Structure 1
Amino acid sequence: MAPQSASGATADAANAIPGVDEIVSSPNLRQIANLPKQAPLNATNSDIAFQGNYAFVGNYNGFVIYDIARPSAPVIVSQVLCPGSQNDISVYGNLLFLSTDSSRSNDSCNSVGQSATIKESWEGIKVFDISDKTSPRYVKAVETDCGSHTHTLVPAKDGTSVYLYVSSYFPSDDYPDCQPPHDSISIVKVPLGTPTDAAVVATPNLFPDGGYKGSNTSATSGCHDITAYPARDLAAGACMGDGILMDISDREAPRVIDRVRDTRNFAFWHSATFNNSGTKVVFTDELGGGGAATCNKKVGPNKGADAIYDVTGSGDARTLVFRSYYKIPRENADTENCVAHNGSLIPAPGRDIMVQSWYQGGVSVWDFTDSANPKEIGYWERGPLSATQLTFGGTWSAYYYNGHIYSSDQKGLDVLEIDEQSIPGAQARHFTQLNVQTQVEYRD
């Protein structure tokens, strides 16, 4: 059966395009803070990690640590200049990890861009000590094949180390450190007591058959992002032309137990999110690479969207079964880059609710408890940056953390307050640490 749309669109919402920089929202979401980017960290904002009263925001020029003890008045604690797109970020204890996926002259924070055709070029993982939030200290670099576009933190079962599942793609015969075929991920092991011993310990091949060869969908040459659910020994990978489900009970030897494709509507499998019970996966399609206007009538409701899959069966017989698509029900201007991007669950026992970034499409809160009929229950967005030309901007990641939504927008850090009474059962859980691609189970 061909996948059918399950958008929660309403005619009024879909037809309302705000003016340039005009803020519009549903009644249950409101902005309570915006802290603009500050030089030299005024490049593209990327992902967010959280720990205690701090938010850590990646930026193509490095990373910023914010004190969010008062969500309505975030304060910059420190800025670390360390260029190397896209600086995907995670934290664990006193350690912070950054992904470098642009060829650099060396592994230092003083490096400059350099062609990947040069053997000495460097890409990979950087490790920082953040025990002093006002003065992070760079302690280790680990080079990985094809760099590190994103990484996913997976704690070891014995608690003595963490693993980083490193995703990268686009190999070339011209790149000495990124040769095709590149059907693998790199696994970096970081001993917590001696992080300077961090090293690649495995490069498992996830696609022995080479993965999807490409047509309407990007050919698979690695993964873009992986989300792990360590408590359930599961991970879901968004791998360009393939979506995969993995068993990660052996942290150094993940096994693919199911694989799905959508050659009709998905262009680029970008990211994945489990529901709290691990019985569903939301995959996102980053049609246009984040730089195109895809939230319009021309593209329609099923492309550049989310796809909801149920996880059926048990053990190695678990399979991913498509149920529906979700896309924001508001039409965007042709000058706005808009596509499904990074989001997280909102803790609501018994329900499946997610908050998600859509670049200039803004922040959407939506319910996928009924896998076949997802619906939006809240939104917040700025109008287009320009009325005359397509301009990159908007929110890269929007995550729920301890009662508020934090968004790494290209205009800076946005903090949104949500009326949790509009989400029956929602709870302002007190997480002490949150890396969204390392899902943590919440309980009633």
Structure 2
Amino acid sequence: MRKLVVLASIAAVGLLSAATPAVESALRTIVDRTEVTAEEAVTRELAGVKGPIGHDHGAHDHGPVEDPARAGTADMVATDASDGVTLVAHFPFDGIDDLFSGGTDLAFDGRYVYAAQFGDAGGVHIFNATGPRPQKVGFFDCPGTQNDVAVLGDGLIVLGFHEGGQEGSDCEEQGGGVRIIDVSDAANPVERGNVLDIPGGTHTIKVHPELPIIYASPGGFPTNGGGPLSDGGVQQIIDASDPDAPFVRGQFQPNPNGCHDVYVSITEERDRDLIACVGLGESQLWDITDDPFAPRTIARIHNPLIFFDHSAAISDDGDLLVIGDENFGAHECEGGPTGAMFAYDISIPELPVLQGYFGIDRHPGDDPHVSSSTIERETWCTAHQYDFIPGTRTMVASWYTGGMNVIDWSDPTSPQELAHYRLDGPAFENSNYWSAYWHDGYVYANDRGRGMDILHVEGLPGADDPKRAPRPRGGSES
């Protein structure tokens, strides 16, 4: 099955015409098992983020609720969790009517957690996570497609989007690009400045760890921030030193597709500042030591097992790069390489060396699994968003319906899963995690159909603190 799934992935990038009749037959057999062809999935992936913006700007407040597997739907939803993993709080989001209107990325700044939501009810939910009872303390109402979030610093966050803004919301000016939001008064967030004329808008954003610089990525597809919808996969590098008047100070075109995402690595152990760029066809390493507004490509990574170079993370020592494959053509999530993570030794950045890979053996239901390639992603279980726990080679990761897991990359040739959590059940009741990260002793996971979960995982940094005991954490809103 795994070989056929890889072949189906090849079909999705238009190589059917080059296949032998026998191989083509095998490719089409697998692709036909999905609800749409893999080629159509590519087109719908690009177009699906585009849609009407608008909603009723009513109340968005909800307190934490019980684990749905223990709250009256136990006959439909099963909790699949390793020992020592406990769901301690769940915050549902209003306005989720499909899988492109729920949770997206997460960002953290001390006691505050910023959980983004996209679609007509989109924006940023602001949580105060200190004390025994987490509280939702604010919401920045900003409908938009994608709605990626990052911390800029000094009470500021950044929101990136392809299209966003609506009259009557907190972000009335429409366009595509980035907004800088002042969250110093968490209950009353306000927009400070923006760049709304980026061709094709922004798919993902990363902020330089030490400087007020925003790296806005187009999406890593020829028509998602590139080609006819944009300006050929150009990375926009934004000077945000004046949050009221950010501007594009640098541009960089790594290839015709551009980056789906980047990861900025600034370490004391290495005398070079690096960026990992991932997108369709390849990953790259850039050197930004001399000028963070003028990257220089120093390495290219082409891995034939990767269908779509989607995400990247670099360990704090700067020596280990992990690339995630969002193989939406077809993947099986039975421990094979489709939709997996791949580790590279980058101790010599110009010469990345493949070390190993990790693929989950976890997917919806009990039967042998080949994912649907539909844009809704209701059965996807590829690697998605992840990062290392600071100072370690332990990673927390999201896998769509594969849930959340914790991976030890101490030996990148043989990574080990330490813990996992997921809900298995009908769509909008099962796990469909867009992102999952460690922060201050807990794991936070943002779900495309349900909202935000907070998990206690024994053995992780801070988890053994008595304040972090996995007790019920009912909260309140203000």
TM-score of Structure 1 vs Structure 2, range by shorter chain:
0.7 to 0.9
Structure 1 153/107 Cα, relative in aligned 2: closer, same or farther at 3 Å?
farther
Distance 1:131 1:337, change over 3 A: same
Greater fraction of residues in strand: 1
Residue 247 of structure 1 and its aligned partner are, at CA, apart by 1.0
Match of 1:408 in 2: 446
The answer to whether the Cα contact below 8 Å between 1:26 and 1:378 also exists between their aligned partners in 2 is yes
Inter-partner Cα distance in structure 2 for 1:174 and 1:25: 38
CA spacing shift, 1:416–1:110, aligned 2, 3 Å: closer
Structure 1 distance, partners of 2:387, 2:76, is: 28
Residue by residue over 1:314-343, the C-alpha shift from the partner in whole angstroms, topping out at 9 and shown as x without a partner, is: 6xxx32111211011334335632110111
Which residue matches 1:15?
A: none
Residues in 1 aligned to 2:344 and 2:431: alpha-carbon distance in whole angstroms: 29
Which residue is equivalent to 1:283? 323
Aligned Cα root-mean-square deviation (Å): 3.2
Paired residues, number = 368
Task: Work out the CA distance in 1 between the residues paired with 2:224 and 2:206.
Answer: 27
Distance 2:464 2:237 in 1: 31
Aligned position for 1:190: 240
Output the CA distance in 2 between the equivalents of 1:196 and 1:110. Answer: 14
* 2:337 equivalent among 298, 302, 313: 302
Give matches, 1:44-443, under 5 Å: 44-60=102-118, 61-70=122-131, 73-91=133-151, 92-102=153-163, 109=170, 122-142=175-195, 143-155=197-209, 162-169=212-219, 170=221, 178-179=229-230, 182-191=232-241, 194-207=242-255, 210=256, 221-231=257-267, 232=270, 233-249=273-289, 250-263=291-304, 265-288=305-328, 294-297=331-334, 301-313=336-348, 318-333=350-365, 334=369, 336-347=379-390, 349=392, 352-386=393-427, 394-409=432-447, 410-420=449-459, 426=461
- Given that residues 225 and 270 in structure 1 are in contact (C-alpha distance below 8 angstroms), is that contact kept between their aligned partners in structure 2? yes
Q: In 2 relative to 1, CA 40–396 (structure 1 residues): closer, same or farther, beyond 3 Å? A: closer
How far off its partner does 1:155 sit?
4.5
TM-score by length of structure 1 reads: 0.75
Counterpart residue identity of residue 152, structure 1: K
**Contact 1:241–1:269 at 8 Å: present in 2 too?**
yes
Q: Distance in 2 between matches of 1:348 and 1:252?
A: 27
Structure 1: runs of 5+ lacking an equivalent = 1-17, 113-120, 211-220, 431-444
Matches within 5 A, 1:19-58: 20-39=76-95, 43-58=101-116
How far apart in 2 are the matches of 1:384 and 1:40? Answer: 17
Segments of structure 2 that go 5 or more residues without pairing to the other structure are 1-73, 370-377, 466-478
Q: Residue 222 of structure 1 aligns to a residue in which SS?
A: coil
Residue 89 of structure 1 and its aligned partner are, at CA, apart by 0.5
Instruction: Tell me the CA shift for residue 262 of structure 1.
Output: 1.6
Q: Distance in 2 between matches of 1:76 and 1:365?
A: 26
Mapped partners of 1:429, 1:86: distance in 2: 35
Query: Which residue of 2 is the match for residue 439 of structure 1?
Result: none
Amino acid corresponding to residue 167 of structure 1 in structure 2: S
> How many percent identity over aligned positions?
28
Answer yes or no: is the 8 Å Cα contact 1:395–1:408 preserved in 2: yes
User: Equivalents in 2 of 1:332, 1:372: separation in Å?
Assistant: 28
Mapped to 2, the partners of 1:174 and 1:337 lie a distance apart of 23
Which structure has greater helix proportion?
A: 2
Maintained 8 Å contact 1:230/1:248: no
Q: Which residue of 2 aligns with 1:438?
A: none
